[in-house]
Structure 1
Amino acid sequence: MGAGRWQERCVIHYDQEVEEFFDDYFAQPCRRCLVIGGAGFDPRSASIVRKLSEIMDGRLTAFMFREERPDPHAELVRRAEDNLRQIESYCQNLVVREIQIFAPDNAVVGGHRTVEALNEIDYSDITDIVIDLSALSLGIGFTAACYIYQRAESTESRLNVHLSLLSNPALDQGIKTEPNDVASEVRGFDIGGLIGGEDKAVLWLPVLTASKQHVLHTIHKYIAPDDTCPILPFPSRDPKMGDEIAYQVFKSVQSDFGGPLENDWALEPQNFLYSDERLPLDIYRSILRIADDREEVFEAFGGSKIILSPLGSKIPAIGALMAALERQFPVVYVEALSYTVDDWAALDSLKETESKMTHVWLAGDAYHNAV
């Protein structure tokens, strides 16, 4: 299918480059920015709003989601309220929307509620939208990104769409989730949206992290793929992480009969793929390459369908999101019923300076003006 949209040209910044870009770009008086983010217990909730408010002041509007799940722990609620007070002190133009993730019957409705909320916004005076994924769950963050990206692409408003992220794997690992017992499709990236998809061979590409075996099995049961190619983090902050995750996966799917590599998913070592944990474009390009190669092979047999599951850290998830936006790949995940933190002191000891900052200019002037 040829080069991807962001294959040859993508405006992306890391760490200090992000600060410098924000300072230069958003200081322009013509910029009126809407930041969409999460106002929950995550310590990163207020960081991007604070940074942008220092540059833009009254030209900044914040639209923040409070994700509501049943029976939250009191400490989570307290910290979410503290974070919201911080955001209120940084941004005078603030809208907060509570999003019920589950319906009374336990159906996942967070994506639907997110679209309803985003439909309420007046975008007429906005030049730039920053979707801050730092403190948004996958189901809400991906849905918001899909909605805003499609809006920018389908209108003549020339909206500039940005993704921002403060990534800290140690912080993410300190936040434990109780997963739902069924898988869900991300709103905007649903399997049912594929025309003729029922006749296509299904390849599942889960982006892996440690301790997600239960979630893996839940998704595998839901989509019943013909083939599975797990994507492992390498290079990564821990050089052994990819091998350890692969071992965990093999162990969790090992067959009761046969040798150590005999397993219920027909996985073989060559099925595993590797992607740089720190570079979202690496996984984006890998996914598109796999899709193009597979389409050529399966074209005579009804075609191929790829399903993504970004279960790893948030930086690779950006790459998976970009691939899904470009090719309309379905995204399947398992929603969190609740969150817990065993060691708040350890979480509080993590400095914001230890987080890695990423910015992707997803759509807008940077591409319309390209020669």
Structure 2
Amino acid sequence: MRDHWDNCVTHFDQDATRFIDEYFGDGQRRCFLMAAAGFDPRSPIIPNLLSTALRDNLHALFIREERGETTDEFLRESADQNEAELRKGIPNSRVEPITIFDPADNAPVGGNRLVALLRGMALPDGTTDIVLDMSALSMGIAFPAARILLEIAERSEGLNLHLMIASNPEMDVSIVGEPGEKVQAVRGFAGNAGRETTLPKARIWLPQLAKKRGAALERIKASLTDLYKVCPILPFPARDPRRADRLIEEFGEEIREEWEVDPRDFIYASEKNPLDSFRSIEMLKKRYDKTVKDTFDPQLILSPVGSKVMAAGAMMAAIKYDLTVQYVEVLRYEIDETAPKAPKMDIVHVWLDGPIYNGYAQQ
């Protein structure tokens, strides 16, 4: 059903903005957008592009992720300003606060609450397209949303599903999250890790290396058993040609001592194209299954904690092959003002599902 994902329609940067203008601006489209209403400066970018093209034909659901009390007034004010801009730009919209942690025991519950919200939601009449804007949504919200919206699109005749991202890797580095204590699977992405089998498990962990994400990855690694090997995912090609080298340097001790990574086991995926990470994980999955068939129970465990573009490809692979996605929810965020800044914003569009793929046959 999702065989077209290895070669699906994508647009980047100027081609992506041109696609939005021409496709959504033809007057025939009725679009439902799901995006974030948070402090991240990327929150309004995709909504503003769609609003310009669609005008009154755009309806939106904006998720405001609430992580309890924050002492950072700048982040709170930024979120309020983004929310006000989004409400003004898209009158046919509503903002839904999602409490990420249960106040009673601080357990991560954001994914469950998002799922309950979407399960009870009805699309506006005449909707032709759904857009999921992952630019400023956390993994614990974006991944469950993608799975549910994909299910809606696949069972609805004539409905298109688009994934869009306003990407800025340098901004990802500047937004620093304090990881919580509990390691868990993303809601809807437990995969086959708990299935019963008579074969011994052989797990491969694919952590996406990202600057200042070491604490989160260490907690995830400590929770995993029966690991056969660790295959870190590095951004290459990347806007900064040395980004992968710097990450290897930052995670040097873990790579050499704790994870015992063979140099041949690194996975390199484009920082710009989500299909690159999707195809890399897909290829590893197929080869590993074939290699250990009838001897081990093969399992791939993903931890995409960095670039949203690379994470989107991992999400697609996890959905298609029912893979486990392990993560640690973020307690609170802060901005690292010393991080390098890059004003250029990359725009990514992936056409996940729709009539355009009717009759697709994998070659």
TM-score scaled by structure 1?
Answer: 0.90
1:80-114, Cα deviation, whole Å (9 max, x unpaired): 11111111111110111100000121111010011
Note if contact 1:206-1:309 (Cα within 8 Å) is conserved in structure 2: yes
Offset of 1:156 from its aligned partner? 3.4
Out of 227, 232, 235, the position equivalent to 1:233 is: 235
User: What is the match of residue 328 of structure 1?
Assistant: 322
Letter in 1 for 2:252: F
Distance 2:264 2:192 in 1: 30
Note if contact 1:4-1:288 (Cα within 8 Å) is conserved in structure 2: no
Residue pairs, 1:30-179, within 5 angstroms = 30-72=28-70, 73-104=72-103, 105-123=105-123, 124-153=125-154, 155-179=155-179
Note if contact 2:8-2:351 (Cα within 8 Å) is conserved in structure 1: yes
User: What is the match of residue 272 of structure 1?
Assistant: 266
2:210 pairs with 1:203? no
2:245 pairs with 1:251? no
Offset of 1:157 from its aligned partner? 3.2
1:190-230, Cα deviation, whole Å (9 max, x unpaired): 14676436843111111111222211111111222232111
Offset of 1:266 from its aligned partner? 2.8
Offset of 1:137 from its aligned partner? 0.7
Letter in 1 for 2:112: H
Structure 1 residues 82 and 251: CA distance shift in structure 2, 3 A: same
Letter in 2 for 1:16: Q
Note if contact 2:115-2:148 (Cα within 8 Å) is conserved in structure 1: yes
Structure 1 residues 64 and 335: CA distance shift in structure 2, 3 A: same
Note if contact 1:207-1:310 (Cα within 8 Å) is conserved in structure 2: yes
Out of 333, 336, 356, the position equivalent to 1:339 is: 333
Distance 2:194 2:171 in 1: 36
Offset of 1:32 from its aligned partner? 0.8
The size of the alignment, in residue pairs, is: 355
Out of 284, 290, 297, the position equivalent to 1:303 is: 297
Note if contact 2:47-2:86 (Cα within 8 Å) is conserved in structure 1: yes
Offset of 1:67 from its aligned partner? 0.1
Note if contact 1:161-1:361 (Cα within 8 Å) is conserved in structure 2: yes
Note if contact 2:206-2:302 (Cα within 8 Å) is conserved in structure 1: yes
Structure 1 residues 207 and 342: CA distance shift in structure 2, 3 A: closer
Structure 1 residues 146 and 193: CA distance shift in structure 2, 3 A: farther
User: What is the match of residue 258 of structure 1?
Assistant: none
Distance 2:194 2:11 in 1: 33
Distance 1:82 1:278 in 2: 28
Letter in 2 for 1:187: R
Aligned partner of residue 221 in structure 1, secondary structure: helix
Distance 1:95 1:275 in 2: 36
Note if contact 2:193-2:299 (Cα within 8 Å) is conserved in structure 1: no
Letter in 1 for 2:202: A
Distance 2:128 2:314 in 1: 26
TM-score scaled by structure 2?
Answer: 0.92
After superposition, the CA RMSD in angstroms is 2.1
Note if contact 1:164-1:359 (Cα within 8 Å) is conserved in structure 2: yes
Letter in 2 for 1:144: A
Offset of 1:252 from its aligned partner? 3.4
Distance 1:334 1:172 in 2: 17
Note if contact 2:61-2:93 (Cα within 8 Å) is conserved in structure 1: yes
Structure 1 residues 350 and 296: CA distance shift in structure 2, 3 A: closer
Letter in 2 for 1:302: F
Structure 1 residues 193 and 90: CA distance shift in structure 2, 3 A: farther
1:138-173, Cα deviation, whole Å (9 max, x unpaired): 1101111111112222x2333211000000112121
Distance 1:121 1:237 in 2: 39
- Quick check: 190-199 or 98-107, which moved more? 190-199
Note if contact 1:103-1:109 (Cα within 8 Å) is conserved in structure 2: yes
Aligned partner of residue 340 in structure 1, secondary structure: strand
Offset of 1:125 from its aligned partner? 2.8
Letter in 1 for 2:242: K
Distance 2:153 2:86 in 1: 26
Structure 1 residues 342 and 292: CA distance shift in structure 2, 3 A: closer
Offset of 1:62 from its aligned partner? 0.8
User: What is the match of residue 257 of structure 1?
Assistant: none
Distance 1:208 1:368 in 2: 37
Offset of 1:26 from its aligned partner? 0.9
Give 5+ residue unaligned stretches, structure 2: none
Aligned partner of residue 293 in structure 2, secondary structure: helix
Distance 1:239 1:47 in 2: 26
Offset of 1:343 from its aligned partner? 2.9
Distance 1:343 1:156 in 2: 45
Letter in 1 for 2:271: E
1:54-98, Cα deviation, whole Å (9 max, x unpaired): 111111001000000021222211111111111111111011110
Offset of 1:178 from its aligned partner? 0.7
Q: Provide the identity percentage.
A: 38
Letter in 2 for 1:243: D
1:108-138, Cα deviation, whole Å (9 max, x unpaired): 1010011111123212532111000011011
2:351 pairs with 1:361? yes
